[in-house]
Amino acid sequence: MGKCVNHPDRETSFLCSKHNIYMCEECLECRDPDIYCKFRSSCSVWFMTKKKKGLDEEEKIEEEVKQYKVVFMPDNKETEVTEGDTLLEAAGKADVYVNASCNGKGSCGKCKLILESGDVKKESTPLLSDNEKAKNYVLACQTKVAGDVIVRIPEETIERKLKVAGMGQEATERLKKLVKDISPMLKEIPLELEQPTLDDSVSDLDRLNRGLKTTGCDVERMNVGIKVMRDLSAAMRDENFNITASVIRKKCSNEILEVKPGGFDSPMLGLAIDVGTTTIVVYLVDMKDGSIIGATAGHNRQASCGDDVINRIVCAEKDGVSKLSSMGISTINNLINEVVESAGVEYRRIRNIVISGNTTMAHLLLKIEPRYIRREPYIPTVSEFPILKAKDIGIKADPSAAVFVMPGPASYVGGDIVSGLVFSGLHREEPLTLFIDIGTNGEIVLGNKDWLMCASCSAGPAFEGGGIRWGMRAEEGAIEKVSVDSETQEPKIDTVGDALPRGICGSGMIDLIAEMFLKGIIDNSGKFKLDASHARMKVEKNERAYVLAFSDETGVDEDIVFTETDIHSLVLSKGAVYAGFTVLLNQAGLDFSMVDRMWITGGFGQYLNIERAITIGLLPDIDRGKFEYLGNSSIAGAYMALLSDDFRKEAREISNSMTYIDFSSSNEFMEEYTSALFLPHTDLKAFPSVKV
Amino acid sequence: MGKCVNHPDRETSFLCSKHNIYMCEECLECRDPDIYCKFRSSCSVWFMTKKKKGLDEEEKIEEEVKQYKVVFMPDNKETEVTEGDTLLEAAGKADVYVNASCNGKGSCGKCKLILESGDVKKESTPLLSDNEKAKNYVLACQTKVAGDVIVRIPEETIERKLKVAGMGQEATERLKKLVKDISPMLKEIPLELEQPTLDDSVSDLDRLNRGLKTTGCDVERMNVGIKVMRDLSAAMRDENFNITASVIRKKCSNEILEVKPGGFDSPMLGLAIDVGTTTIVVYLVDMKDGSIIGATAGHNRQASCGDDVINRIVCAEKDGVSKLSSMGISTINNLINEVVESAGVEYRRIRNIVISGNTTMAHLLLKIEPRYIRREPYIPTVSEFPILKAKDIGIKADPSAAVFVMPGPASYVGGDIVSGLVFSGLHREEPLTLFIDIGTNGEIVLGNKDWLMCASCSAGPAFEGGGIRWGMRAEEGAIEKVSVDSETQEPKIDTVGDALPRGICGSGMIDLIAEMFLKGIIDNSGKFKLDASHARMKVEKNERAYVLAFSDETGVDEDIVFTETDIHSLVLSKGAVYAGFTVLLNQAGLDFSMVDRMWITGGFGQYLNIERAITIGLLPDIDRGKFEYLGNSSIAGAYMALLSDDFRKEAREISNSMTYIDFSSSNEFMEEYTSALFLPHTDLKAFPSVKV
């Protein structure tokens, strides 16, 4: 008998000899990951009880609990798990990235691994082809460990280093010019104070404030913590009243954060972080002149809990928001390590951070309850975040680094959009502008310097490759351009990195559908009209499909096809986005002809062919000169807010002044949506330039 | 071998089997009380090394370390100490109050105990009379334990329950009327918020702020911490958007501290605390209507580190400021326990606290470096304290309770004086007023609603009984009134509580000196002129003394006398105070005739006979109607600031607007001081009413 590790007042006989801990029954059954998760998969207590529940045979409990080794190739990453854990759980433990769009439900088929050796128990799944099965492919979430196992991450799904999304060298140089006066949240202010005398005997703190006032600080609104007060007198006298004070400028007050003897030690750094549902981008910035001295991007590790924000929230409700938070934070911290190491700087010099992300991402990162985001009436807990400290949320930087999280006006129009607007300057100018971030959600902003309206339409994951048989992101091997010969109906494809095709990404799909529509392969409702006997037509799992690449031309040893279901998914997505434009304009009493500019942002837009997008009715049929691609405007706005108080202020103003239109229960939206489920649209007058 | 308890990276062989800890050599020798003190007197490791150092004989180290029991009578408090510890250290461990004005140096003779049984090693001392020695009196700081010991605290020095200083029932009733609108720092605001809908889908935090705004909160300047954001959505929905928000109003911003579902649970309480160098007073206040529902007072336990602020600072420099802080905080917490228990309330309901104390007390309590207070040019670290939380400083209340510490303008004019001014209203009115707090330091304020000047003169401890052969505080048995028969020169005495005399307190001394001067026992320089053969005259330790009470009339079995040195000490004290008045008036270009009011505050002033104080030249010879006694104005001001933001604002304004005059290097002060070292003064014209 011993005391429960979580409840010292309880005696319990459940001992894990491995971890040398006792746990009471309540803890063993508890689903709160803070209580049991850290031990879950490797703790014999936990497993013992699981068995006890299962078998209900007291004597069996004495049996030794089986632990097995799982090795992930090609990186040879190894971990130990308990019998019965899934390979997806093992991947999480080994810190190996495995995409699991459906959050381990076994429905997306993304978490493929190749079993090289060892015993496993597999659930049967229709999501693997015979070819794949023959090659020992398994779904990680549907496969339980039953012995020491070696698995390999398939070449085609391996995590590739992302290109830093959106902004190239030239663009970042341009960014620098957008910020005229650098005014960070956390400032380091060197002061040479006058020494006290009998005639000038104000307190040390008053002397410090007097010095700060001469540098323009608003000392009337200055707070100071007990630690600074305790360290103050020594710090001031260590180098003869030459000191450097760190001051945080908050929205409504300032705070002296630290006082160090002497002058600067080395230049202060900052981070601009764009936390996308899929991809996280980090810029490392020299706060003195705004130079971007490092930039990197990586997949958000939360992907193993699902592709979209709804799945992430579901996962947070089940496993606790802490789990999702650590996944996001660990992705960020790995990226920070990367930029910090390659720049050869100390992470403690990072003292200013701006995070831009959608509302769900912001909630999850900060461990703020996200559950009401997905429930009518769709309420975020927080829209405008106070300035936090890095240690509050676990970001690897100076623990006192100031963290500004971009505010967002609604559950489905978040800080990433506000950040994009800050960069775009839409809200500072006269022309009427439609601003759109196309992704799983299509976030739309309409307005100019006088007013702003916004909305979000649920486009679904198709544009990002989700729910599409061969859908993938714009990574190496993704088909990104398609043209179809009007005579032969044979396709011509281009892939990212000119690699053998492994799937098709969003821009490729739009190309494909536009081409299939224009070249008579499909009709305006998205049904195939090409003769079934055509060499490119085949039937897979009872539905018709167009073969983009035959197995011998691919990197996956299977035909890469596009099915009628895939077409339908894409039509639903484009219909939702177009209906969003229409309703937002209607609400403002406007129409497309009045739109002066149409700005597209987000990673997906980068590869978008405007002409083809108009052809399928995703974008309106207006003057092509009005379209502009902004790149990753979320990271750009974060960069600007990192350097300038004015832009942080603008962000708050934008967030507060936007009128949010909810489409979720709007009849008008449903009508427009239904009308938009044709190619290009039921109302052909709206698409005069699209001629089949 | 094991790991050092403070430095886990170090292996050490010093094991204390009693505490089951290892300590490395550095820790054993370290004087930082945070590192070793908690183990010091009872830890065998510590003692082992002490012996090792002393004897330098390896084999002796193996000897068992001797621990002895010390019992303090009459309360039968017991503790265990290590051979060689002093009885003063034992008293500290046993939490027994022993006055040690000189901080254990053996020079004040206050820490008397009676050895009832057991072995000790005594240093010889001239501070015990033969009579005392015969009765087994010892000085606690000069006596080391060498066996199990029983000691008794002498009847005459036993800690008596203090009357709650200053304010009686009537006065507290009057106090209540001074506060018109109750506006605590920390407010609990019940809100019935509207439920969110699709048309009203602002974030939970915005909804909360909207609610707060309707109650008059300045939400533009509202901060909120990460914990509140994390708890918010659940708290709001638990009772259907009926919540109670706790909001702290700070100087320059507000903060949402907590959000709880539902309405109030029980009324909020507050504490007004006057932290005197000698005495700490605590009021427990109902924040709803300002009723004082409990009040108590006790000796500041820091007294074992010396009587005055200088000794306390010296002690903090030697043993660390943490030690002094804990002594003060533990005194406060014991008093809080008392009031909370007798009122039958929960201490967690205490959510507002105001502390008033001199600059040194404030620094020590908050563990802020005090050392520059006592060094020219006498600089406090902090004058104006930000609002803190109870947990920051360890006060037993709700951990988030807001703590306002009264600001003080200078090292020797502190928050207690500012608090007194807030109560007095001096700064709100036209008449020119001299405000004086007589104690070890005489703090003087001169001014009216247009201007304020202040200064401090070092009066010495005489008025509080320090440095006087039979000096004591105004406790039971203290001679508080003296008259002398002009024919016989025989004294007539009154004692506090009509008990047998045990010593003489400040007011008694002033009476005595005035009477001796008026009745021809002493001359104007304070020398005896009474015939040496008079029955009341005797010679003690080579100096002449006047017998106030013969041993058989006393509670101490010795003659209670007043020596020429005692008289001189008192003359020095009164001279310093009077010189202070004069110089401050001179600096303002004024003289005593222009003073409209003279207000006296502090515990000592309570018993002061104005006429007698004028006779000896302590107070100026002005219209007696101008004098008024304010009682303990420090606690009264703290009470007012507890209830009202206006008064907290006034306190800050007073502290910032006072002009501090430093006397320490002033020639003018030295001249005035020298002139004031006669009875009543060298300038007899200034004292027309004093006729010998």
User: pLDDT tier at B515 (50, 70, 90 boundaries)?
Assistant: very high
Alpha helix (H) ranges present in B125-252?
130-134, 169-178, 204-214, 226-238
Of B299 and B522, the structure prediction assigns the larger pLDDT to B522
Task: Measure CA A588 to chain center.
Answer: 31
DSSP track, B122-140:
E---TTS-HHHHHTTEEEG
Residues A97 and A246 in one domain: no
Nearest to A198 among B196, B234, B665 (CB): B665
| pLDDT tens-place string over residues B267-293 | 899 999 999 998 899 999 999 999 999
d(CA A454, CA A446): 6
Of B106 and B87, the structure prediction assigns the larger pLDDT to B87
- Complex-level ipTM: 0.79
Q: Which two tokens stand for residue A65?
A: 């609990």
pLDDT at site A37: 39
Q: What is Dmax (Cα atoms) for chain B?
A: 102
Choose the mutation target among B379, B384, B657 for the interface with A, i.e. most A CBs under 10 Å. Answer: B379
Which element (helix H / strand E) includes B143? strand B143-145
pLDDT at site B527: 96
Residues B481 and B552 in one domain: yes
| Residue of chain B nearest A197, judged by CA positions | B377
Which element (helix H / strand E) includes B279? strand B279-286
Using a CB-CB cut-off of 8 Å, the residues of chain A touching B386 are 223-225
As beta bridge partners, residue A292 has A285
Say if B339 falls within a structural domain.
yes
Residues B126 and B209 in one domain: no
Choose the mutation target among B194, B195, B199, B203 for the interface with A, i.e. most A CBs under 10 Å. Answer: B203
Residues A27 and A9 in one domain: yes
To the nearest whole angstrom, how far is the Cα of B223 from the nearest Cα of chain A? 7
| pLDDT tens-place string over residues A383-427 | 999 999 999 999 999 999 999 999 999 999 999 999 999 999 999
Quickly tell me which residue has 């040195």 as its tokens: B565
Show the beta-strand stretches assigned E in B333-490.
Answer: 350-357, 388-389, 402-405, 433-437, 441-447, 452-458, 478-484
Q: CA–CA distance from A309 to each of A458, A570, A578, B330 (Å)?
A: 11, 19, 21, 52
pLDDT at site A7: 75
Domain that holds residue A666: 417-461+571-635+646-680
Mean pLDDT of chain A: 88
**Percent of chain B at pLDDT above 70?**
91
pLDDT at site A168: 60
pLDDT at site B411: 95
Nearest to B372 among A222, A233, A380 (CB): A233
User: pLDDT tier at B34 (50, 70, 90 boundaries)?
Assistant: very low
Residues B256 and B288 in one domain: no
Residues A35 and A127 in one domain: no
| Residue of chain B nearest A658, judged by CA positions | B202
* Record: contact B369-A230, CB cut-off 8 A: yes
| Residue A56 pLDDT greater than 50, yes or no | no
Say if A100 falls within a structural domain.
yes
Total domains present in chain B: 5
Radius of gyration of chain A (CA): 28
Nearest to A205 among B237, B371, B381 (CB): B381
Residue that finishes a domain, picked among A261, A287, A315:
A261
Say if B39 falls within a structural domain.
yes
Residues A138 and A206 in one domain: no
Residues A442 and A587 in one domain: yes
CATH of the domain at B314: 3.30.420.480
| Residue of chain B nearest A411, judged by CA positions | B203
* Record: contact B380-A203, CB cut-off 8 A: yes
| pLDDT tens-place string over residues A552-600 | 999 888 999 999 999 999 999 999 999 999 999 999 999 999 999 999 9
Radius of gyration of chain B (CA): 28
CB burial of residue B685 (10 Å; 0-12, 13-18, 19+): exposed
Say if A301 falls within a structural domain.
no
CATH of the domain at A662: 3.30.420
* Record: contact A204-B380, CB cut-off 8 A: yes
Using a CB-CB cut-off of 8 Å, the residues of chain B touching A229 are 366, 368, 381-382, 385
| Residue A51 pLDDT greater than 70, yes or no | no
pLDDT at site A635: 94
Residues A44 and A85 in one domain: no
| pLDDT tens-place string over residues A423-453 | 999 999 999 999 999 877 899 999 999 999 9
Using a CB-CB cut-off of 8 Å, the residues of chain A touching B410 are 201
pLDDT at site B253: 84
Give me the count of residues in chain A. Answer: 692
Say if B13 falls within a structural domain.
yes
pLDDT at site B169: 67
Residue that finishes a domain, picked among B62, B86, B101:
B62
Give percent helix, percent strand, percent coil of chain B, each to the nearest 5.
Answer: 35, 25, 40
Say if B608 falls within a structural domain.
no
Nearest to A252 among B197, B253, B369 (CB): B253
* Record: contact A372-B662, CB cut-off 8 A: no
Using a CB-CB cut-off of 8 Å, the residues of chain B touching A385 are 229
Residues A76 and A140 in one domain: yes
d(CA B295, CA A229): 31
Average pLDDT on B32-58 reads 47
* Record: contact B253-A221, CB cut-off 8 A: yes
Residues A478 and A557 in one domain: yes
Single out the residue of B443, B340, B342 nearest to residue B398, CA to CA.
B340
DSSP track, A384-436:
SPPPEEHHHHT-SS-TT-EEEEPP-SBTTB-HHHHHHHHHH-GGGSSS-EEEE
User: pLDDT tier at A44 (50, 70, 90 boundaries)?
Assistant: low
Using a CB-CB cut-off of 8 Å, the residues of chain B touching A410 are 201
Average pLDDT on B374-380 reads 94
d(CA B619, CA A505): 94
pLDDT at site B288: 93
pLDDT at site A33: 44
d(CA B213, CA B207): 10
pLDDT at site B20: 64
To the nearest whole angstrom, how far is the Cα of B233 from the nearest Cα of chain A? 6
Nearest to B252 among A253, A377, A381 (CB): A253
| pLDDT tens-place string over residues B430-470 | 999 999 998 778 999 999 999 999 999 988 888 888 889 99
Residues B216 and B195 in one domain: yes
| Residue A252 pLDDT greater than 70, yes or no | yes
Say if A323 falls within a structural domain.
no
Residue that finishes a domain, picked among A238, A261, A284:
A261
| Residue of chain A nearest B392, judged by CA positions | A226
To the nearest whole angstrom, how far is the Cα of A29 from the nearest Cα of chain B? 23
- Phi, psi angle pair for A641, to nearest 5°: -70, -30
Nearest to B386 among A223, A250, A662 (CB): A223
Say if B170 falls within a structural domain.
no
* Record: contact B379-A225, CB cut-off 8 A: no
| pLDDT tens-place string over residues A616-653 | 999 999 999 999 999 889 999 999 999 999 999 999 99
pLDDT at site A680: 96
Nearest to A203 among B229, B383, B386 (CB): B383
| Residue of chain A nearest B363, judged by CA positions | A230
